[in-house]
């Protein structure tokens, strides 16, 4: 398969783009359903611990990433195959349910297009390699984490921890980096934000970020190595500060309300994955400039 794609680059890029669109459609399902599934599971665990009888209907147990079928939340109409084609169905339906006319969130095609575009960038940069396959998995995981964190201020362990272990396992075969750099990256990534968290809480008495942020930086450290952590922290901090300021100035965001840091860490980590060598050289040259 790799030989065919190497011989026909147009076929390769087209296939990656289409795959990105399809995966993007599935990512929409994960972004919407996974937090609901986790909240339901946490509620059940609390009720069992407190010996409280559950008030959820028995049908709740059948709610997962596959069941029920995609449907309109307004009228309950199940989507047909032709209504589930990434981006195209949204355009044909003009962003509305064919049953009740309820508006379809614009985010759905945005996630699909974003997954396709980022997948194409990964494929263009890394070519037909095992690194490209692994980088696509990380890219899709970061998209899911970013949108869930933006919506719920939550970075699920069900996604971060498998990505962390995958990064460490890939280092055994030196797909991106060696095991020493990966282990140090994971440990220092977690500890660096944990120390910032503890210092901020000691000074202000408030919690400045969640433990999920520590784990996400550990993921990026495991994949890219400890050498990229300063760059990722710098990029994410600058991006978060700029976006947060714009939200306060132009969108009326209450400065007392927390702004999730996960999307900015994910964006910085993805940039480091693709252009990290070049940016790290610029960064190191800048701090060493006499």
Helix H segments across the chain?
A: 2-7, 9-49, 88-92, 107-126, 130-152, 157-172, 179-204, 211-224, 229-250, 262-287
CA distances from 101 to 94, 96, 154, 228, 242 (A): 10, 5, 32, 48, 37
Sequence-distant (≥ 6) Cβ neighbours of residue 90 within 8 angstroms: 104, 108, 109
CA–CA distance, 231 with 221 (Å, rounded to integer)? 11
CA–CA distance, 180 with 187 (Å, rounded to integer)? 11
227-280 per-position pLDDT tens digit? 999 999 999 999 998 988 888 787 776 777 778 999 999 999 999 999 998 887
pLDDT averaged over every residue in the chain: 90
Of residues 94 and 188, the one with the higher pLDDT is 188
pLDDT at position 170 is 98
Q: Is the dihedral of CA 202, 204, 205, 207 positive or negative?
A: negative
154-170 per-position pLDDT tens digit? 999 999 999 999 999 99
Residue 59 binned pLDDT confidence (cut-offs 50, 70, 90): very low
> Whose CA is closest to 166, among 133, 123, 189?
133
Cis peptide before 68 (omega within 30 of 0): yes
pLDDT at position 288 is 63
pLDDT at 218 over 80: yes
Domains of the chain: which residue ranges?
Answer: 1-128, 154-290
Of residues 84 and 119, the one with the higher pLDDT is 119
Residue 281 binned pLDDT confidence (cut-offs 50, 70, 90): confident
Largest Cα separation within the chain, whole Å, is 68
pLDDT at position 1 is 66
Of residues 123 and 55, the one with the higher pLDDT is 123
97-106 per-position pLDDT tens digit? 988 889 999 9
Residue 188 binned pLDDT confidence (cut-offs 50, 70, 90): very high
- Orientation angle between helical segments 130-152 and 157-172, nearest 10 degrees: 160
């Amino acid at each position: 398969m790799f030989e065919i794609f190497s011989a026909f680059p147009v076929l390769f890029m087209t296939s990656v783009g289409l795959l990105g669109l399809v995966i993007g459609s599935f990512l929409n399902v994960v972004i919407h359903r996974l937090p609901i599934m986790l909240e339901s599971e946490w509620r059940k665990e609390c009720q069992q611990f407190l010996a409280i009888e559950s008030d959820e209907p028995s049908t709740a147990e059948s709610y997962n990433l596959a069941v029920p079928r995609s449907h309109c939340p307004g009228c309950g109409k199940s989507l047909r195959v032709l209504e589930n084609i990434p981006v195209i169905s949204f355009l044909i339906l003009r962003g509305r349910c064919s049953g009740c006319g309820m508006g379809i969130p614009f985010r759905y095609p945005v996630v699909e297009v974003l997954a396709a575009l980022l997948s194409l960038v990964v494929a263009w940069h890394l070519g037909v390699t095992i690194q490209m396959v692994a980088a696509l998995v990380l890219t899709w995981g970061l998209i899911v984490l970013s949108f869930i964190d933006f919506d719920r201020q939550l970075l699920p362990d069900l996604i971060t921890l498998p990505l962390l272990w995958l990064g460490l396992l890939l280092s055994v075969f030196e797909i991106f980096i060696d095991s020493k750099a990966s282990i140090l990256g994971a440990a220092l990534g977690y500890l660096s934000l944990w120390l910032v968290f503890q210092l901020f809480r000691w000074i202000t008495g408030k919690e400045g970020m969640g433990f999920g942020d520590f784990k996400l930086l550990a993921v990026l450290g495991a994949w890219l190595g400890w050498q990229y952590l300063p760059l990722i922290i710098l990029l994410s901090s600058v991006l978060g500060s700029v976006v947060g300021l714009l939200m306060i100035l132009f969108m009326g965001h209450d400065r007392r309300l927390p702004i999730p840091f996960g999307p900015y860490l994910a964006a910085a980590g993805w940039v480091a994955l693709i252009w990290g060598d070049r940016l790290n050289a610029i960064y190191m040259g800048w701090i060493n400039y006499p």
